[in-house]
């Protein structure tokens, strides 16, 4: 059985690959795809696999964009921490999901489900239902954040965000006018709230706004240093594993 993994976190992709190969020795993992653009190109130039495991939020967009560009009639198992209505929508359309962090028992359950319903996908009925699911899965990203500051509630437009920074258990937002606000969310939650077309998580501590990038420089160990117009507590360094996806995001 030929399987594709679409995942931009290398560690997660390797863990999933190891679990799949352990569960079924007949599984062949094709090259791991880490971006929307790369996946679209791959599917256009290669025979379709039997099964796809796909993250939802990739560095250059949502994985749904892949399947809009390249219609497929094969099952897709989404690996996600997506909200409940989306998960139930996929369940009702016989599309399975895995909640991160991945566990062997979850992957095994999904493989068993695949074997039970693979004929349904091959029939073409899946294509119609999947299009309906994708409509349900449209994400409403934040346009404005409400900041509770002392006795005030301050609306901050996301277009005015320079970066979001996590350190010492706190997540702070800095605007392009150098105003700082503490956020009541984790940086993971903020990553899910913001449109990945406009915001990119360059490492564990920083999410940056595309419009705030002034220039990019090569840094030690094949990493990148990103310069923004606003002050930063430390240098913004793009982790080595994210360099390729970051540059593709910038070029969009």
Residue 59: per-residue pLDDT:
81
Q: Are residues 148 and 47 in the same domain?
A: no
Angle between the 84-92 and 125-136 helix axes, to the nearest 10 degrees?
Answer: 170
Nearest to 73 by CA among 133, 112, 119, 32: 119
Residue 92: per-residue pLDDT:
37
Strand partners, 54: 6, 78
Query: How many structural domains does the chain have?
Result: 2
- Nearest-angstrom CA–CA distance, 238 and 215: 13
Q: Are residues 111 and 155 in the same domain?
A: no
Q: Is 166 helix (H, G, I), strand (E, B) or coil?
A: strand
Q: Are residues 149 and 131 in the same domain?
A: no
Q: Are residues 132 and 10 in the same domain?
A: yes
Residue 81: per-residue pLDDT:
65
Tokens read off for 247:
């540059």
Q: Are residues 132 and 8 in the same domain?
A: yes
Q: Are residues 91 and 70 in the same domain?
A: yes
Give the mean pLDDT per block of 10 residues along the chain (252 residues): 91 92 89 92 91 86 84 81 50 60 87 75 55 53 86 91 95 95 91 90 95 94 94 93 90 80
Domain end residue (candidates: 101, 136, 171): 136
Residue 45: per-residue pLDDT:
92
Domain end residue (candidates: 112, 136, 160): 136
The CATH number that applies at residue 154 is 2.40.50.1020
Residue 239: per-residue pLDDT:
86
Q: Are residues 50 and 162 in the same domain?
A: no
Q: Are residues 35 and 88 in the same domain?
A: yes
Q: Are residues 148 and 245 in the same domain?
A: yes
Mark out the alpha helices in the chain (DSSP H runs). 10-23, 36-45, 64-69, 84-92, 104-122, 125-136, 187-193, 243-250
Q: Are residues 6 and 87 in the same domain?
A: yes
Q: Are residues 42 and 111 in the same domain?
A: yes
Q: Are residues 85 and 173 in the same domain?
A: no
Residues 6+ apart with CB under 8 A from 151: none
Q: Concatenated DSSP letters for 206-243? A: EEEEGGG--EEEEEGGGEEEEE-SS--SS-EEE-GGGH
Range of the domain at 225: 144-250
Q: Is 129 helix (H, G, I), strand (E, B) or coil?
A: helix
The CATH number that applies at residue 129 is 3.40.50.2300
């Amino acid at each position: 059985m030929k399987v594709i993994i679409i995942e931009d976190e290398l560690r997660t992709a390797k863990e999933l690959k190891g679990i799949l190969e352990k569960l079924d020795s007949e599984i062949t993992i094709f090259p791991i795809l880490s971006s929307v653009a790369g996946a679209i190109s791959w599917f256009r130039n290669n025979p379709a696999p039997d099964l796809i495991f796909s993250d939802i939020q990739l560095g250059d967009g949502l994985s749904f964009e892949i399947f809009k560009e390249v219609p497929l009639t094969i099952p897709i198992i989404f690996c996600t921490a997506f909200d409940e209505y989306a998960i139930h929508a996929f369940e009702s359309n016989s599309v399975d999901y895995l909640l991160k962090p991945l566990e062997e028992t979850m992957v095994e359950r999904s493989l068993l489900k695949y074997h039970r319903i693979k004929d349904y996908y091959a029939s073409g009925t899946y294509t119609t239902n999947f299009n309906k699911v994708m409509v349900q899965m449209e994400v409403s990203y934040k346009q404005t954040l409400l900041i509770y500051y002392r006795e005030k509630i301050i609306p901050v437009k996301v277009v005015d965000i320079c970066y979001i920074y996590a350190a010492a258990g706190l997540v702070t937002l800095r605007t392009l006018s150098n105003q700082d606000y503490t956020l009541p969310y984790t940086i993971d939650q903020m990553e899910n709230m913001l449109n990945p077309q406009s915001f990119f998580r360059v490492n564990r501590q920083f999410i940056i706004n595309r419009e705030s990038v002034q220039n990019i420089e090569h840094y030690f160990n094949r990493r990148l240093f990103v310069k923004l117009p606003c002050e930063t507590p430390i240098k913004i360094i793009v982790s080595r594993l994210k360099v390729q996806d970051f540059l593709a995001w910038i070029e969009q």
